[in-house]
């Protein structure tokens, strides 16, 4: 067996919240063979298999009685290139932001709005990651996943993935599909998405009238750096709550009571509310209870000031959720996966 196992390993370096819990067993998979070895080993030891990438979408509340498998496969390949359109494939263990930067250096546009999102390629379809007007589904060309129930490989197209707002088939069927590699539709001709106001304003402030994908990426990185703390300096998992979808009628009632409500019509009679606005208006921005807190600059981000446990962070999240229901009648949903 080529898989290297470690027992009772601290997962603190492997989750961006920096929560110190132990994994019963831990291994890294660098290729498909090691993935299959991990599946067989977990079954042989009668242990669950928990697959992680960059650990940027996890809230660990206890020691993990499982084989924790970190996807560490690397590789980037151009599968098709007609001089204008390109299909690129990346292994699941590729870190996301370096991949974005690599595509930009190759003159390929499409991922620039998704710059500086933490995590790995394999985790991106799980959440249908999105930022500044672009979601993964907008550039998605397909993926290869292993069916953990049958051991067979399956190719997924766009419709197969059932992408929705921060959601997908892979998230709803957690524990079945193990994503091995993902493909993207990119372009050598700039097709910029500048609908998000702050990005456009940042470019204008810098005197950039005809931006390139690299310009958009730099603007996005600057905005994210100002709004979101660096997990290397302050433990966090980025946006902790999804922006909730409510009916148009409920949005109108809230707007009447709160004229400055931040809301975005979505069609089909639904309106997306800014969860950060709700949390800030409820008074939670900058709140701290021991080492568990809400970031002082961005109410949507829960932070670990050093020694907070996952249970303490979860308890704080539950308090915030209950308060938002009480004050606004709106249910907030966590983005990170709770373990």
Whether the CB-CB separation of 85 and 187 falls below 8 Å is answered with yes
Could you say which of 73, 168, 217, 239 is catalytic? 239
Place of tokens 């650990």: 55
Q: CA–CA separation, 111 vs 93, rounded Å? A: 17
Residue 166 annotated among the catalytic residues of the structure: yes
Three-state SS annotation for 8-53: EEECHHHCCCCCCCEEEEEEEECCHHHHHHHHHHHHHCCCCEEEEC
Could you say which of 28, 37, 94, 335 is catalytic? 335
Whether the CB-CB separation of 24 and 339 falls below 8 Å is answered with no
Residue 314 dihedral angles phi and psi, to the nearest 5°: -65, -40
Whether the CB-CB separation of 330 and 279 falls below 8 Å is answered with no
Contacts of residue 258, Cβ cutoff 8 Å, sequence gap at least 6: 281
Place of tokens 């020694």: 307
Residue 225 annotated among the catalytic residues of the structure: no
Could you say which of 148, 166, 181, 218 is catalytic? 166
Residues belonging to the active site: 166, 239, 335
């Amino acid at each position: 067996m080529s898989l290297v196992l470690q027992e009772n390993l601290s997962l603190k370096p492997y989750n961006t919240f920096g929560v110190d819990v132990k994994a019963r067993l831990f291994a890294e998979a660098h290729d498909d063979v090691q993935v299959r070895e991990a599946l067989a080993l977990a079954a042989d030891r009668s242990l669950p298999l928990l697959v992680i990438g960059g650990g940027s979408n996890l809230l660990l509340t206890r020691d993990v009685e499982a084989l924790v498998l970190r996807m560490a496969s690397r590789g980037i390949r151009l599968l098709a290139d007609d001089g204008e359109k390109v299909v690129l494939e990346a292994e699941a263990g590729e870190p996301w932001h370096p991949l974005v930067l690599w595509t930009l250096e190759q003159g390929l546009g499409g991922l620039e709005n998704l710059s500086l999102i933490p995590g790995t390629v394999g985790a991106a379809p799980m959440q249908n990651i999105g930022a500044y007007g672009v979601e993964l589904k907008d550039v998605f060309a397909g993926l290869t996943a292993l069916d953990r129930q049958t051991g067979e490989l399956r190719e997924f197209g766009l419709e197969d993935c059932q992408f929705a707002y921060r959601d997908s088939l892979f998230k709803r069927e957690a524990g079945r599909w193990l994503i091995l590699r993902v493909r993207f539709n990119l372009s050598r001709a700039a097709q910029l998405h500048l609908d998000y106001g702050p990005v456009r304003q940042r470019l204008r402030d810098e005197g950039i009238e005809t931006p390139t994908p690299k310009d958009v990426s730099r603007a996005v990185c600057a905005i994210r750096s100002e709004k979101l703390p660096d997990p290397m300096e302050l433990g966090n998992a980025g946006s902790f709550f999804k922006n909730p979808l409510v009916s148009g009628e409920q949005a109108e009632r809230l707007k009447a009571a709160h004229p400055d409500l931040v809301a975005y019509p979505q069609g089909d009679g639904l309106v997306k509310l800014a969860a950060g606005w709700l949390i800030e208006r409820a008074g939670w921005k900058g709140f701290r209870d021991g080492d568990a807190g809400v970031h002082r600059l961005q109410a949507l981000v829960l932070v670990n000031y050093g020694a907070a446990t996952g249970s303490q962070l979860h308890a704080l999240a539950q308090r915030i959720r209950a308060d938002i229901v009480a004050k606004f009648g709106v249910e907030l949903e966590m983005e990170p996966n709770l373990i």
